[in-house]
Amino acid sequence: MSALPPLGQLPQYQVYRAVSAALDEDLGQAGDITTLATLDWSGKPNYADAAIVARASGRIAGLQFAEAAFRSFDHDARFGVMIDDGGDAEAGDIVARIRSKDRALLTAERVALNFLCHLSGIATATARYVHAVEGTGARICCTRKTTPGLRAFEKYAVRAGGGMNHRFGLYDAVLIKDNHIVAAGGIANAIERARTHVGHLVKIEIEVDTLEQLDEVLKHPVDAVLLDNMDTATLADAVKRAKGAMITEASGGVTLETVRAIAETGVDLISSGALTHSSAALDLSLDFGPT
């Protein structure tokens, strides 16, 4: 696959806020009672070396969260990244090395891995979809079907996988769906009202599921059309009709097995909610001791 552009970093305040909430959930009112009960707290803290190791191959995303979790208990923890976000790990690879107080490693381990495994799973699934459509010109993008409270992070993971982001919420783009069309009294009414209401910088996309609806949409100025749950023959016809007039996006019934055929219709974008709501976590673990 071609090299990804630099991802940049998520805002640190967002990362630490999410990690803090996760630690509050995990520690409750009593703290880490296992670590409190098993370690010797009478002297100076002991330091330990540990490594985050990939148990399966996949795309990495979410290292900021792991580092933030360990630093929440040891500000001086050393966190050395071996494979950056957006990079690929093979089973057995060391993703990061940490030197920190042993109590910090033990208490922060699960929160660090929960974020890292989840986001790396999304990045891994996205990378597989991107690889499947390589050479077609189609781009893979996500949806708003995200875990509440984690949307910005899950969408970041999609970018780490080589995909692109759809709108982030109800506030940054207009997407007129089938129920909006019914409530507005038809396609023309929905588009006209949307165009009157939003500013010139706000994109407007409309969802259709038949060629007849698409033909009506083509009479009006919109930026993109979402071709929903069409078979590949119908989708190819729709793309041909809309080519040059607006961006085309296919959605519905997208799987790793079907995405290549969908891409070969010439559609510009393929969106999949499964990237964020159904991707399996990547198997990563924290191993103590020199590695």
Q: What is the largest CA-CA distance in the chain?
A: 77
Please tell me which residue in 167, 177, 195, 260 is annotated as part of the active site.
Answer: 177
Whether residue 236 is predicted with pLDDT greater than 60 in this model: the reply is yes
pLDDT band at 6 (very low <50, low <70, confident <90, very high): low
| Residue pLDDT, tens place only, 201-213 | 999 999 999 999 9
In the residue annotation, 110 being an active-site residue is answered as yes
Tokens read off for 185: 């009294």
Q: Read off the pLDDT of each residue in 84-101 and give the average, rounded to a whole number.
A: 97
Domains belonging to the chain, first-starting first, are 12-131+279-288 (3.90.1170.20), 136-277 (3.20.20.70)
pTM across the whole model: 0.95
Stretch (H or E) spanning 26: helix 12-27
Please tell me which residue in 78, 97, 99, 110 is annotated as part of the active site.
Answer: 110
Whether residue 151 is predicted with pLDDT greater than 70 in this model: the reply is yes
Phi/psi of residue 6, nearest 5 degrees: -55, 135
**What does the alpha-carbon distance between residue 13 and residue 130 come to, in Å, rounded to a whole number?**
30
Tokens read off for 78: 């050393």
Render 177-223 in DSSP notation, one character per residue. Answer: -HHHHHHHTSHHHHHHHHHHHS-TTS-EEEEESSHHHHHHHTTS--S
Q: Read off the pLDDT of each residue in 139-168 and give the average, rounded to a whole number.
A: 96
pLDDT of residue 291: 59
pLDDT band at 246 (very low <50, low <70, confident <90, very high): very high
pLDDT of residue 42: 86
Whether residue 48 is predicted with pLDDT greater than 80 in this model: the reply is yes
In the residue annotation, 249 being an active-site residue is answered as no
**What is the average pLDDT value for the chain, to the nearest integer?**
95
| Residue pLDDT, tens place only, 34-44 | 999 999 888 88
Whether residue 290 is predicted with pLDDT greater than 80 in this model: the reply is no
CA 116 to each of CA 59, 239, 261, 286: distance values in angstroms, whole numbers, following the listed order: 11, 38, 32, 11
In the residue annotation, 207 being an active-site residue is answered as yes
Please tell me which residue in 32, 74, 85, 228 is annotated as part of the active site.
Answer: 228
pLDDT band at 3 (very low <50, low <70, confident <90, very high): very low
